[in-house]
Amino acid sequence: MHSPPAIPLRRLYRVALVVAALFGLLSFNAAAQTAPPPDSLWTVKMPQVVVTATRTARTLRDVPIPTQVVTAQEIEAGGTRRLSDLLAEQTGLALVYDHGAGIQVQGLASDYTLILIDGEPVIGRTAGTLDLDRLTVADLERVEIVRGPSSSLYGSEALAGVINLITRKPADGFHAGADLHVETHQTLDLSADTDFRHNRLAGRFLLNRYRSGGYDLAPDVLGPTLPGFTDYTTSSRLTFEQNERATWNLSARLARQAQRSVAEVRLGETLIPYDDAANRTDWSLAPSFTYRFAPGVKGTLKGYASRYFTDLTLRDQNDGSVFSTSRFDQFYGKAEAQMDAIIGRSQLATFGSGYLSESVTADRVQGGRRSSTNVYGFAQHEWIASRQWTFILSARLDVHSDYATRLSPKAAFRYKPFSRLRLRASAGSGFKAPTFQQRYLDFTNPLAGYSVFGATDAVKALQQLDAQGQIVRFLTDITALQEIRPETAIAFNAGLEWNPIDRLELQLNFFRNNVSDLIEAAPVAVKPNGQQVFTYFNLNRIYTQGVEADFTLRPHRTVAVSLGYQYLDARDRDVLAALAEGSLYKRVNGRDRRVTRDEYGGLFNRSRHAGSLRVLYHSESSGFTVSLRGLYRGRYGFGDANGNLILDDASEYVPAYTLWHLTLTRAVGPYVSAQAGVKNLFDKTNPEHIPVLAGRLLFAGLKFNLRP
């Protein structure tokens, strides 16, 4: 199965560019002559409603937890196609690539951020990364980004933040749309969607096909820098309002990605070319039922099932023989009940409980397949004490079959001394469950001879080895091994929103995350071959702290200018202790000396400074939109180069860089808009450290929006 030949696609690309340009030019007058509504940015007139921070619908301004909303209009104005591209443009979020594009929130690794679609988790992580290139933004109404831990509502993974993709709600009547987007590197994104609302029935359906041809920044090496892939996504939702009280919902999603590449494997003196095929399928199904017992009292029953599976095959190009295969299959099933009740005029109580079952089938998993269960309950109480004060308390208890029980509390308040100033603060805890690997791995390196066991089976596996005479010596008393705990955080957020005049808004948020019990492998026993047996322990401690600032100015009704900045300080507390002790060294010109505290650059992959500039022009009368974004990423460490495993040397940094993206959109009559733009205007690349930085990309697109 190979990708379609390149030529027709290139032709299509050119045709589309020309068509887009023509549409834009020819229709200029026509569009200008349509009845002009007043110029304005589509800053939402209605108060923005968000659901992620409290699991209830609240207006954004009332939420005491740092929440950011990216609206569909902003997504469209930027022309981004995948969630990774969209999040990369948000202040304080950074993409980190490790087996896919993951997102770093408040300086915490991507496995600490929960990704939701309409409130339900997206599953399927590789090496902790949930690849955000998997997710299209085609059918989104908005993206909600909650910073700081939300495990008190969502449980595992909601440690650094929660990113919730809210899909479009059908409007009255019938609507159909289509979207065509072509881009350098034979990228083609096609979407067709439809939605309707008729009496009590509403529905939505999306079909998206995204194909990228990949690219090669290092032609002297066999295989592309980034291989091409084709991704299909269908997503649908059906809502039936049975009566005033009862509402039924069914959401379904299916995505499939195929990636073909070539890779060289060194076998002795020769390099053997391999065909590398990777397929990924994930689906989810979410039925739910909501019943309104009384005004302000609502109950919801939800089911959620999701499966994620991948298979990878390396095949010898010379004789077609299979060199290696690897498969991974994860299932996630959940049943949950939630009650929301408004009590009196100022109290809102939310509570619920659920049962979660997960299983994984993979190579190197003990027994090939393992499963676990998680029973949980959560409660939240919101008290609107006065016009000035709002308080929220929440907590969740997770009882899991594989690791220690975890209670996650959180408290937050909002204070509005006067209408133009809002202060808020929150303190909460978050956790991340040990990964499947950390729980179930059963691996012995066939050549080196060392073994690694997941924490769930470690004691049993060690006793078995001991009984077989395969243990020379224990390095620790295994009967005293503690049950593995989730990685946990305690976090504080405090900030303000201030709009001294209508056209100006300033947002500030200070954060501090103390993460402890980071899980690492450590030796527990020695085998007769001298090699060690490893299992997983709760060991390291890190912290991240900093400030996020956003400043938005609207000098004119048609223009918005935003400046964003994040200062970040992220360090390993055990490294700090070692530095204080003077027990960390570096080698400079062949001599060893102690590393000073000033030389320590903190955790890898963290930029101390990051910033963004956003200029948006939108004129309703001319139908013209310009979006210019400048994204600065300060230098950051890529890895250790001098043997002491920490970031302490200038040679260990990726230099700072700035990317500029420009997107022009023009309404072409009532149903069509044309778009063209440039990503990475100044063609920045860094093949050695940032292979995903593809260089300058040109794109053009057409969007049809039919609403008879």
Residues contributing to the site for another protein (CB under 8 A): 265-268, 447, 472-473, 523, 526-532, 583-587, 590-594, 639-645
Three-state SS for 246-291 is EEEEEEEEEEEEEEEEEEEEEECCEEEEEEEEEEEEEEEEEEEEEE
What are the helix (H) ranges across 406-559? 436-440, 458-467
CA distance 238 to 305: 17
The b-or-e profile of 453-463 (16+ CB within 10 A means b, else e) is bbbbbbbebbe
Q: How far is the CB of 590 from another protein (least distance, A)?
A: 7
Q: Which is nearer to another protein, 172 or 592 (CB)?
A: 592
For the four alpha carbons of 589, 593, 595 and 598, in that order, the dihedral sign comes to negative
Q: Which is nearer to another protein, 248 or 585 (CB)?
A: 585
Q: Which is nearer to another protein, 61 or 594 (CB)?
A: 594
For the four alpha carbons of 441, 444, 448 and 449, in that order, the dihedral sign comes to positive
CA distance 242 to 239: 9
Can you tell me whether residue 154 is helix, strand or coil? helix
Q: How far is the CB of 538 from another protein (least distance, A)?
A: 18
Q: How far is the CB of 263 from another protein (least distance, A)?
A: 13
Q: Which is nearer to another protein, 528 or 669 (CB)?
A: 528
Q: Which is nearer to another protein, 556 or 593 (CB)?
A: 593
Q: By C-alpha distance, which of 127, 262, 136, 237 is closest to 190?
A: 136
Can you tell me whether residue 404 is helix, strand or coil? coil
Q: How far is the CB of 586 from another protein (least distance, A)?
A: 5
Q: How far is the CB of 314 from another protein (least distance, A)?
A: 11
Q: How far is the CB of 109 from another protein (least distance, A)?
A: 15
CA distance 333 to 357: 5
Place of tokens 């820098």: 225
Q: Which is nearer to another protein, 405 or 529 (CB)?
A: 529
CA distance 204 to 190: 17
Place of tokens 């831990």: 149
Q: Which is nearer to another protein, 251 or 532 (CB)?
A: 532
Q: How far is the CB of 598 from another protein (least distance, A)?
A: 17
Q: Which is nearer to another protein, 172 or 688 (CB)?
A: 688
CA distance 397 to 353: 9
Backbone angles phi, psi at 686, to 5 degrees: -155, 80
Ranges assigned E (strand) in 363-405: 369-384, 389-400
Q: Which phi-psi region, left, alpha or beta, contains residue 109 (left: φ > 0; alpha: ψ -120 to 50)?
A: beta
Q: By C-alpha distance, which of 290, 301, 287 is closest to 251?
A: 287
Q: How far is the CB of 452 from another protein (least distance, A)?
A: 11
Q: Which is nearer to another protein, 532 or 625 (CB)?
A: 532
* Residues 6+ positions from 632 with CB-CB distance below 8 Å: 609, 610, 611, 612, 656, 657, 658
Q: Which is nearer to another protein, 413 or 443 (CB)?
A: 443
Helix (H) or strand (E) holding 652: none
What are the helix (H) ranges across 346-457? 436-440
Can you tell me whether residue 650 is helix, strand or coil? helix
Q: How far is the CB of 521 from another protein (least distance, A)?
A: 10
Q: Which is nearer to another protein, 377 or 523 (CB)?
A: 523
* 150-to-70, 147, 218, 410, 690 alpha-carbon distances in Å: 19, 8, 42, 8, 31
Check if the beta carbon of residue 483 is closer than 8 Å to that of residue 418.
Answer: no
- How much is the CA Rg of the chain, to the nearest whole Å? 26
For the four alpha carbons of 600, 602, 604 and 606, in that order, the dihedral sign comes to negative
Q: How far is the CB of 472 from another protein (least distance, A)?
A: 4
The total of other beta-carbon atoms located within 10 Å of residue 144's CB is 23
Would you state the structure tokens that stand for residue 268, as one six-digit string? Answer: 């002795």
Q: How far is the CB of 640 from another protein (least distance, A)?
A: 7
- Assign 3-state DSSP to the chain and report helix, strand, coil percentages, each to 5: 10, 55, 30
Backbone angles phi, psi at 464, to 5 degrees: -65, -45
CA distance 653 to 547: 22
* Residues 6+ positions from 267 with CB-CB distance below 8 Å: none
Q: Which is nearer to another protein, 346 or 529 (CB)?
A: 529
Q: Which is nearer to another protein, 10 or 594 (CB)?
A: 594
Can you tell me whether residue 160 is helix, strand or coil? coil
Q: Which is nearer to another protein, 464 or 529 (CB)?
A: 529
Q: Which is nearer to another protein, 199 or 589 (CB)?
A: 589
Q: How far is the CB of 477 from another protein (least distance, A)?
A: 17
Q: Which is nearer to another protein, 34 or 529 (CB)?
A: 529
Q: How far is the CB of 272 from another protein (least distance, A)?
A: 9
Q: How far is the CB of 440 from another protein (least distance, A)?
A: 19
Backbone angles phi, psi at 86, to 5 degrees: -65, -45
